[in-house]
Amino acid sequence: MRKTSYAAGALSLVVALTFATPAQAGGWQHDDAPAKLSVLHGVPGLTVDVWVDGNLTLDDFAPCTLAGPLELAAGDYDIAITASDATSADNPVIGPVNVELNDGGNYTAVAHLTADGAPTATLFTNDTKALRNDNKGKLTVRHVAAAPAVDVLAGGAAVIEGLSNPDEATLKLEAGTISASVSAAGTTAPVIGPADVTVEAGKNTIVYAWGSLADGNLAVAVQVVDSEDRWCGRR
CB under 8 Å to 98, separation ≥6 — which residues? 19, 76, 77, 78, 79
CB atoms within 10 A of CB 31: 8
pLDDT of residue 212: 96
pLDDT of residue 150: 97
Region 14-33: mean pLDDT is: 47
Does the pLDDT value for residue 27 go beyond 60? Answer: no
Residue 104 within a domain: yes
pLDDT of residue 68: 86
Does the pLDDT value for residue 19 go beyond 50? Answer: no
What's this model's pTM, rounded to 2 decimal places?
0.82
Cβ-contact 196, 178 below 8 angstroms: yes
228 to each of 1, 20, 172, 203, how far by Cα in Å?
12, 26, 21, 12
Backbone conformation region of residue 23, classed left if phi is above 0, alpha if psi is from -120 to 50, else beta:
alpha
Residue 13 within a domain: no
pLDDT of residue 168: 98
Residue range 71-130, pLDDT digits in tens = 999 999 988 878 888 999 998 877 787 889 999 999 999 889 999 998 888 899 999 988
pLDDT of residue 120: 81
Residue 185 within a domain: yes
Structurally, the chain folds into a number of domains equal to 1
pLDDT of residue 22: 57
Greater model confidence, 228 or 53: 53
- How far does CA 184 lie from the centroid of its chain? 20
Residue 4 within a domain: no
Own/partner pairs, 176-179, CB within 8 angstroms, 24+ separation? 178/139, 178/154, 179/154, 179/155
Query: In terms of residue numbers, what domain contains 210?
Result: 19-233
Residue 92 within a domain: yes
Residue range 179-227, pLDDT digits in tens = 999 999 999 999 999 999 999 999 999 999 999 999 999 999 999 997 4
pLDDT of residue 11: 27
Q: Would strands 176-184 and 150-154 be described as parallel, antiparallel, or unpaired? A: antiparallel
Residue range 141-194, pLDDT digits in tens = 999 999 999 999 998 899 999 999 999 999 999 999 999 999 999 999 999 999
Going by the DSSP 8-state scheme, the letter that residue 231 receives in this structure is: E
Residue 3 within a domain: no
Residue 179 within a domain: yes
Does the pLDDT value for residue 31 go beyond 80? Answer: no
Residue 118 within a domain: yes
